[in-house]
A and B are shown apart, each in its own frame.
Chain A
Amino acid sequence: MKKLIGLVIALGLFAPMAMADNGGAACGIGATLLRGKSGVGPHLSATFTDSFVEYGNLLSLTTGNFKPGFLGCDPKNSVIQRDMERRDFAKANQENLSRDMAAGQGEYLSTFSGMMGCSPEAQAQFARVMQAKYSKISANADMVEAVKLEMAADPRLASACSLS
């Protein structure tokens, strides 16, 4: 209960967030997602919110220039960025995504198939493979990697989806 209250209260938390330097690893939407944030605990908003106003710049800056608060990203690394987005998504939605995989349908699964580079036409096949290989995928600690392996092993997905 206490945690829930904290969550509600943590609407748009000040918390140590979105402080990552521009470029490099912190990249793209949800860049700060679950990635080595310390001391914030499980409060969703605190952990995940990628703030417009980088508080370090606008609200607590004592020297230097005001920078655009968003844009923790180097546009050149788009392949890396896409993979990070997949991992962020899979990690944040692990529970919803697992349910959809086992059920062979659902919004999390169709979103994920899009992120894995599958065309809308390949969605049904993606769902079938995820359901059929669910026991293997769920046993792997790295879900995204496990999904990639199954996609490569399925000839139709291998040709219909593009991971780059």
Chain B
Amino acid sequence: MRKIYLLPLFLMAWGLAALPALAQQSEEPKPIIATYVPRNPQEGLTPIQLERLAQLMKKAEEKDLWNNSYWHTLLRYQKGWFGGVKSQADSPVFFFSPQGKTNPKAELEANVAAFFMDKPGWNRMAVTPQCAFPARYRWLKEQLEFNPIWIPEQTCPEFEYWRKQIDIQSVTFIYSSFYINSPVSAFGHTFVRLDNKKHTDDQRLMDRAINFAAAIPEEDTHGVMWVFYGLFGGYPGVFSQSPYYMKVLEYSDSEKRDLWEYRLNFTQEENDRVVAHLWEMQWVYFDYYFFDENCSYHMLPVLEAARPGLNMRDHYLLFTLPTDTVRDVATEPGLVSKVTYRPSRLSQMKKRVDMVPPALRSLADDLAENPALYETPEVKGLDDPSRIAMLDAAVERIRIHLDVGEQTPNTEQTALRQKLSQLLLFRSQIPVASPPMDFTPWPPKVEEGHKPSRLALSGGGWEVPGVPGIPTRFTRVSLMPVFQEMLSDDRGYAENSQVIMFHLQGRYDEETKQGYFEKFDVLDVISLVPLSSVQKTMSWQFSGGWHDYVETPCPNCLQAYLKAGFGYALQSHAWERETFALMGGATLNAGPMFDQGRRADAWVEGSFYLNLAPWWRMGFVGSRIARGNNTPDPMVNEGSFRQRLTLSQNWELRTDVTLRTGRQEASAGLGWWF
């Protein structure tokens, strides 16, 4: 019976349930990569070469080369929790020494030995060691001053060909903002672009993008296994390349996420190191972990490989949030030379609509519905700039609804495409170029927002409604490692959304002189998407965890809960920004205070969020709850009124009045983001 309290860990339970499928998989013949044991390259050397190797290793020892941080970057060594180092790379052919994963010295020696070899085939590689690992080769050659007679430099046609294709001019670090409707990408995404010398700055679409992502077997992409493996490292993470325009299509057009491009201030030599290092990444895979060793984490050593001494990875302990890595890149002195904003398809549409003279906006809307209106005298009589603005806006209004990349459109999509072609034909008949979209000022960048974790301290009083007496004074501490709360300043974050994970809160009561564990929210996500003529998306919320807000006296009792709801939101801009939402849903509760240990509730909830100024936000939430389990007097009302005042980028002041069945309280306090 007690197992029911573990309700919020349902994700893991799912994963475990899927284990039999895993066992089944392992019966298939294993690829040799999984079982391959590299041979020590010393075995392939002549006695003279071994003698020379020993001399080189003496020099390496003098320089303590295997403890050099650059060597550790190239091989992805990371300090272990209990001393020693371990490489994060999980592919055996990434190492030359059988002990390479944990022994930087043995690996360095094996690399030098391998660079003596002038024929491909070692470790079953189709190219020579020098050509497989050009970044390591160049660095060791420089550090140990390889004698060209001992170790002749080889030409590497494959690498050279690839390098020439890339023809690097600069490296750009790219951040794709949140996509709140998909929890996996709520944290954003990062990758790099290799800017080609042959392309001008308005031709960056043709540049090459390098991405790190988990390689997920196609049959798993919708499954439970995906969640489980993704969190706990069951999939191999690999680097891949594609034209940048494919990334723009994916993030900007299809998912409607804004992109931020941070051009890095690398010298030509540093750029070349990045290219050489990325070439080495084709021999490697990493177990992919959603929280720490994720897409963003693996982009950092790519930057470190450019500039020896640059250290980007050390301060990530448990989580690597893409937003954090962007903040670090953006604020690292001398690293970024230029920032560019690339509006998503949605942002472009909003801008084009803004560019229509206000009196003509509804007509432009109608035009998107019915392109034939363009031929009416009402539109024909307008001047060129007005008609251009209207057509451009109407075109974007349709584009926002298109399924990007869909090869076999359904009837609705076909109708949209026909309207679009019609509008584009009209547009092409006005032989004037459209005015470019001007995005000044840009929306705030990630590094202008608060940091992702919050520690808050507050004080106040609480009482049980209907019970006479003075309120109990309390002091409260709350730790929220991730990442954004509904009322917090949303500069650099998604508007009207909340993504909270692992929120821990405790309270000290003056009356009893005792500390209480108050709550632990595993997940608490709210996504409000205001309805508009272009977006008819539902709003939703989902949360789960434990708390001690019990309705009946039950000292030290914890209640487990799982809450989900759907609804719609509206937004106006009478002051700064006002958002209204109405949702309905259900909550499953479990705990000893309930008859049979559990109870299901249904509720409706109205919320109103009001920004009086960018630094001042209020939130009113009221709900009416129908309690299950034949609870006497089942209908209750609950509500809260909260405020946030921003003091500085990482400090905020909060007030909170909350009325719950069984407890009402008021408090105020300070929050610090770190």
Contacts and interface: CB of A to CB of B under 8 A. Distances in A.
Interface of A: 3-15, 28-30, 40-53, 55, 58-71, 73, 75, 85, 88-89, 92-93, 95-96, 98-99, 101-108, 110-111, 114-115, 120, 127-128, 131-132, 134-135, 138
Q: Which of B33, B184, B185 has the most CB of A within 10 A?
A: B33
B424 to A, nearest CB: 4
B253 interface: yes
Contacts of B468: none
A103 B199 contact: no
Interface stretch (B60-68, B98-106, B137-145, B238-246): B238-246
B158 A71 contact: yes
Interface stretch (B40-48, B429-437, B570-578, B579-587): B429-437
B407 A42 contact: yes
Contacts of A107: 202-205
10 contacts: A44-B246, A51-B241, A60-B33, A68-B132, A95-B253, A98-B424, A101-B424, A105-B434, A110-B200, A111-B206
B31 A128 contact: no
Interface of B: 29, 31-33, 91, 93, 120-121, 123-127, 132, 158-159, 161-162, 165, 179, 182, 184-185, 199-200, 202-206, 208, 210-218, 221-222, 226, 236, 238-243, 245-246, 249-250, 253-255, 278-279, 281-285, 295, 392, 395, 399, 402-408, 421, 424-425, 427-428, 431-434, 436
A89 B405 contact: no
A36 B286 CA distance: 30
Contacts of A13: 215-216, 218, 221
Contact of A30 (B182, B216, B246, B253): B246
Given A29-B165, A66-B126, A127-B433, A6 B242 contact: no
A114 B31 contact: no
B425 A135 contact: yes
B125 A65 contact: yes
B434 A104 contact: yes
A48 B240 CA distance: 11
Nearest to A53: B238
Q: Among B124, B216, B392, B405, which residue has the most Cβ atoms of chain A within 10 A?
A: B405
Contacts of A102: 395, 424-425, 427-428
Question: Which 6 A/B pairs are nearest by Cβ-Cβ distance?
Answer: A12-B213, A134-B428, A104-B433, A11-B213, A102-B424, A103-B434
B425 to A, nearest CB: 6
Given A4-B182, A68-B159, 4 more contacts: A29-B243, A66-B283, A110-B200, A110-B203
B41 to A, nearest CB: 15
Contacts of B31: 59-62
Contacts of B432: 104
A12 B240 contact: yes
B126 A7 contact: no
A52 B255 contact: no
A80 to B, nearest CB: 15
B249 A12 contact: no
Nearest to B253: A96
A43 B238 CA distance: 19
Nearest to B208: A29
A101 B216 CA distance: 38
B254 to A, nearest CB: 6
Contacts of A52: 210, 238-241, 278, 281-282
Contacts of A12: 211-216, 238, 240
A59 B428 contact: no
